[in-house]
Amino acid sequence: MRDRLLLTCALLALAGCSRKGADEAAALIPEVKTRLAERDAKLASYRIAGTVKDEGQEAVSFTFDYRAPQRMRGTLGPPASRTFAWDGAHLFQQLDGEKQFSTFKSELPPAKLAGFLTETFSPFTPEGFRTPLLLRSATARKAKHPRGPEAVELVQKLEGEAAGVEMVYVLRWPKLDFLAQRTRFPDGTEGEERVEEEHCDAALGLCVPKRLTRWLAGRQVGETVLGRVELNATLPNDAFTLSAPDGYAVQSRTLVESAPAATPSGG
């Protein structure tokens, strides 16, 4: 009888711990979202410049300027420089190699426009500068990390065409500085993007990546190195509104909604 009572008490204690752990995990996601919003509000603008190198390819230089809300300008190259900018109302595209300049007016609904801009400018924005996009199904758990020492892991399983892919963001706790992103594909292959060096701002109380490496199946396949990082830089409105250089062919076009994605139409 005594043994049964002890076993019952032990099982009840375990159940209590399990419920407590589940409650803490459930409360962690809202706290993470709040802290991410607070961090995002601190970083009102930034200017970065660096190089991206992928396995088997030459390094490509880039610059990127961002100012909240939704002001962006990114340049790839040289030698064949390409510049994209969004001034809050128009998208500009300047192709120096072809000497073409296009202005796009948006007729997309807000959600579609946000997705289109994210897709257009994501090549210019290393992880750690933009807020991770979290699905409703995302879960959070505390973890340890060499750069932490405390960290939080945000776990989400992708849906749609990417179904079966699991993505894990690793952020320093409680500042939520980006430390790594791990991806597990349906065939078991694992990829990772990790921070190797950081740029920290004591006044803002946050750090952003200065050097990141990309790995696939345990092999390094890429690297991003930032030679310039300016946080909360002064960026005027006209920095995001481009004008066609002399001698460039000029087009006015429209961003319209079509299946399966938004595409430019001539105009």
Q: What is the pLDDT of residue 123?
A: 87
Q: What is the pLDDT of residue 6?
A: 54
Q: What is the pLDDT of residue 114?
A: 87
Q: What is the pLDDT of residue 160?
A: 83
Give residue-wise pLDDT tens across range 194-223. 999 999 999 999 999 999 999 999 999 999
Average pLDDT over residues 108-124: 90
Q: At 17, is the pLDDT very low, low, confident or very high (cuts 50, 70, 90)? A: very low
Report which of 267, 263, 243, 247 is spatially closest to residue 255, judged by C-alpha positions. 263
Tell me what percent of the residues of the chain surpass a pLDDT of 90: 70
The region of weakest confidence among 82-86, 207-211, 236-240 is 236-240
Compute how many other C-beta atoms are within 10 angstroms of the C-beta atom of residue 179: 26
Fold of 38-265: outer membrane lipoprotein receptor (LolB), chain A (2.50.20)
User: Which one has a higher pLDDT value, 258 or 260?
Assistant: 258
Tokens of 25: 């995990």
Average pLDDT over residues 141-150: 92
Q: How high does pLDDT run on average in the chain?
A: 88
Measured at the alpha carbon of residue 113, what is the angle toward residues 109 and 116, in degrees to the nearest 5?
Answer: 145
Task: Tell whether the model's pLDDT for residue 119 goes beyond 80.
Answer: yes
Domain definitions of the chain by residue range: 38-265
Task: Tell whether the model's pLDDT for residue 263 goes beyond 60.
Answer: no
Give residue-wise pLDDT tens across range 33-80. 999 999 999 999 999 999 999 998 989 999 999 999 889 999 998 777
What is the reported pTM?
0.83
Q: What is the pLDDT of residue 259?
A: 45
